[in-house]
Structure 1
Amino acid sequence: MNAIYRIGALKTARLPLRFADPLLVAADLQREASAMREMLAVSPVPAPVPIAVGRPGRGYPLPWSIQSWLPGDVATPEGTAHCEQFAEDLAGLIGACRSAPTRGRPFAGAGRGGQLPDSDAWMETCFRESLDILDVPVLRGLWAQLRVLPRTQADSMTHGDLIPANLLTENGRLIGVLDTGGFAPADPALDLVAAWHLFDAETRSVFRHALGTTLIEWQRGAAWAFQQAMGLVWYYQASNPGMAQLGRSTLARITNDDELVSTLPSVR
């Protein structure tokens, strides 16, 4: 989580909002800058350019960063639901990410992007916290089917967090991508979360065709979107209702997709 401040017309300052060792934060910011440069090299749309890392000082105890500012409107699940051109643009962005070499690096995260069963403990937390706000028995049953989907693809480079807030739009086109400091190797299906966050069934079909996904990859993308959405609803219910509503709309798209649900493996 960062506090973001506009600096003039062309720059933005990002200040980490957490308690941490300044040396570790500085290392994280340098790693993020390196990842941003890697994504810049392949992205077909503008992405932030890392400019500088600031040092701790009076009034702020941690290192911070300066990046370029990108114009555009943040994508929304309602605004892009039927935008087929946006879906094709997004497929192009994900394909470009995958074209970057991993240089032998494996997935190094601890959450989304590795093996689905590794999220079991987190999902149990989500189900417990959601008992009064979601149909947990139905959702728990769906996770039981999603978590056993096999991994058939090697790691590829992924953005890692293609939620609507990280995608910029204008006149139905994708014109920018934000928060690129997590560009790294992961399950290629991870970036497919965007389809479930942003598109209705017909537009998801356009996106899927443009990217050329296999059935198992498509299902795993739904699984990662489900994992993310379950956390959004309860965690942000009071502090960020917009994010909570994103989780709800994504869960609805997944549970109401008859083709997806009917092709998932049966679990006893």
Structure 2
Amino acid sequence: MIHVQPDARLVEALVATQFPQWSALSVTALASVGTDHALFRLGDTMLVRLPMSQSAAGQIEKEHYWLPILAPHVTSPLISIPAPLAVGEAETSFPWRWGIYGWIEGESLCSTRIADAKQLAEDLAQFVVAMRSAPYDGTPIPPDSMMRGEPLWLRDTQTRNSIRALSNEIDMPKSEHIWEQALSAAPWTRSPCWVHGDLLPGNLLLRNGRLCAVIDFGGARVGDPAVDVMAAWIIFDRKVRPSFRDSVDVDDATWQRARGWALSWSVIALAFYRDSLSPLSAIARRTIRAVLSEPGD
């Protein structure tokens, strides 16, 4: 697989060639927990996003098509989503299309302390419900390699293999039991609904202690809303989780599938990243602890 690590000099050249009206603006590389895109601030009011691998390459076009359609339904005076401004074309120096977005002022949840976790739970639930309620016109959405929004059984082999790979680090019997419970939960039988698909700390921005934006819609699609509800274990502890559940308003089966999603995502991520310095390994470990320590098992 081709993997590219863009730098500020490349971005300056791409902008100068394709968007000369912005060529005088400064380009600053930004730290990111994500593994799909490199991020750069362009001037004071824009963000440049470049895919780093072929698997992420289609996300730019997807976002630039769907974000303007979703925006009227999921934004609020409190919570915004990225606003696409332009799509850059591939060149000999960079093999994929890339995007320019409006800058959103805020701090990643990865780098700031949660002042009021209950309020954050209510704010994030508001966004999840808005996504779930947004209309979908049936326009085809490209397949998702992570199977977000799809039935859990499609991730069964990879999830079980990851649990076994982590047997020296996690409670394997309990993990397998929780996974089997999730697989046996009643499936989503209503119409597929919009999901963000990647509600990780790095994709949530806070301003003055409140959720102000949800970013990175590369995994957005329609399907089972349980994939977004897994934020209950990724983001919140057991004291706050009930507030999120009450606000997100899902039935027992969806909650059970969401817990399975949280387990599946975290064991797969940890099995892949545990020998690296990726912040995702710490997030995955924390999520596994949250899932396995849930009362009632």
Tell me the CA shift for residue 165 of structure 1.
Answer: 0.7
Q: Is the 8 A contact 1:157 1:185 kept in 2?
A: yes
Separation in 1, partners of 2:295, 2:112: 21
Q: For 1:109-154, what per-residue CA distance to the aligned partner results, in whole angstroms no more than 9, with x for missing partners? A: 4513111111112113312432333333332232122222121442
SS at match of 2:90: coil
Residues 106, 224 of structure 1: alpha-carbon distance in 2 compared, 3 angstrom cutoff: farther
Instruction: Read off the aligned partner of 1:64 and give its amino acid letter.
Output: W
| 1:167 lines up with 2:167 in the alignment | no
- Residue pairs, 1:92-111, within 5 angstroms: 92-104=126-138, 109=144, 111=147
Following TM superposition, by how much is the alpha carbon of 1:202 offset from its aligned partner in structure 2, in angstroms? 2.1
Runs of 4+ deviating beyond 3 Å: 76-82, 104-110
Corresponding position of 1:73: 107
Matched residue count: 256
In the alignment, which residue of structure 1 is the partner of 2:119?
Answer: 85
| Inter-partner Cα distance in structure 2 for 1:251 and 1:77 | 21
Give the structure 1 partner of residue 259 of structure 2.
222
Q: TM-score, normalised by structure 2?
A: 0.78
Deviation at 1:53, TM superposition (A): 1.2
Partner secondary structure for residue 218 of structure 2: helix
Shift of 1:15: 1.3
Gaps of 5+ in 2: 1-35
Identify the residue that residue 233 of structure 1 maps to in structure 2: 270
Identity %: 30
Indicate the structure whose relative CO is greater, using CA pairs within 8 Å and at least 6 residues apart.
1
AA paired with 2:107? D
Q: Normalization by structure 1: what TM-score?
A: 0.86
What letter matches 1:115 in structure 2?
Answer: P
Residue aligned with 2:269, SS: helix
Counterpart-to-counterpart distance in 1, 2:103 and 2:111: 23
How far is the alpha carbon of 1:209 from its aligned partner? Answer: 1.1
Indicate which of 58, 77, 89 corresponds to 1:55: 89
Q: Report SS of the residue matched to 1:94.
A: helix
Name which of 50, 67, 72 aligns with 1:36: 67
Question: What is the root-mean-square deviation of aligned Cα atoms in Å?
Answer: 2.4
| 2:95 is aligned with 1:64 | no
Alpha-carbon distance, 1:161 to partner: 0.8
Letter in 2 for 1:42: H
Give the deviation of 1:158 after TM superposition. Answer: 1.0
Shift of 1:103: 2.4
Q: What runs of 5+ residues in structure 1 fail to find an aligned partner?
A: 262-268
Of 136, 151, 156 in structure 2, the residue corresponding to residue 115 of structure 1 is 151
